[in-house]
Amino acid sequence: MGTEQLKMVFDFGTLGVEAALEKIQTILVNHGIPVDGFIHYDEPVSLPQALKRLKKSNRMSFDLEGQGFEFMLGAVRNYNIEFLVIRSTDEVRIPWDDWVDHFARDSNLVIAWVADSEYEHWQNAEDPLQYTAVGKPYEHLPMKSNELPYPLEQMIIDTSANPGRWRFHDGYIEAVGAVMWLGPRFWQLTGAEQEQVANTSWLTVTHTTPSVVKLQAAEHTFTTAEGISGELQNRLRSMLFQQKVTR
């Protein structure tokens, strides 16, 4: 089993480096966690120091690790999204709800979900070299062409039917988790029916903030594509993304 991670997706241009770091720092301070002792590009920094460096460089991304966390901010212009990944490298010390609630207050949160990092990685690994590098067999997995022209064409692992797959779409990422949060823009972008979701008997549906809907499909984070866990992931995807074709 891997470590847990929270992935949050926002409308492009509604978060940014400065706001993201300030929110991270506020949450850590509120929970009594120091804002120093971090690593940025192999150099020790505090979060205020990292913010100064990033503002000078005009970067739209960062990767910071320390105090039992890894924070990764990125943006994909072609899909009009920003995303923040928060990985707990130790036990989860701050409830995921606290992070989502704080980031959803004045940022345009589209979707967020909690994933087991190892499970999600292998559910989306397409390059056979990712398997051979760690001695993991892949011969039993379905394969397909990467559809690139010669001489770049090669066979890759087909992840298109994996319950734990994620895919980029314009304005959001298609993914499912045992716990998910959906902002107002989610319903507009996907065409999913909020009333149908709210009345689904196998989901626990609550509002953590007035505008964000929280879904809980299982007590524990998904770690397998088999059995009931795989069925739940497929049912979630079918309900939330049935109008969309993956890319």
- For residue 2, the model assigns a pLDDT of 63
Reported pTM: 0.93
| Cβ burial, residue 58 (10 Å; 0-12/13-18/19+) | exposed
Q: Is the pLDDT of residue 246 over 80?
A: no
Let me know: does 181 contact 109? Beta carbons within 8 Å.
yes
Q: What is the pLDDT of residues 111-154, one digit of tens each?
A: 999 999 999 999 999 999 999 999 999 999 999 999 999 888 99
Cis peptide before 151 (omega within 30 of 0): yes
Reported as a single tens digit per residue, the pLDDT across 177-198 is 999 999 999 999 999 999 999 9
Share of the chain above pLDDT 90, in %: 86
pLDDT at 60: 84
Cβ neighbours around 103 below 10 Å, total? 24
Model confidence pLDDT, tens digit, residues 202-216: 999 998 788 899 999
CA angle 92, 93, 95 (to 5 degrees): 75
Summarize pLDDT for 210-235 with one digit per residue, the tens.
889 999 999 999 999 999 999 999 99
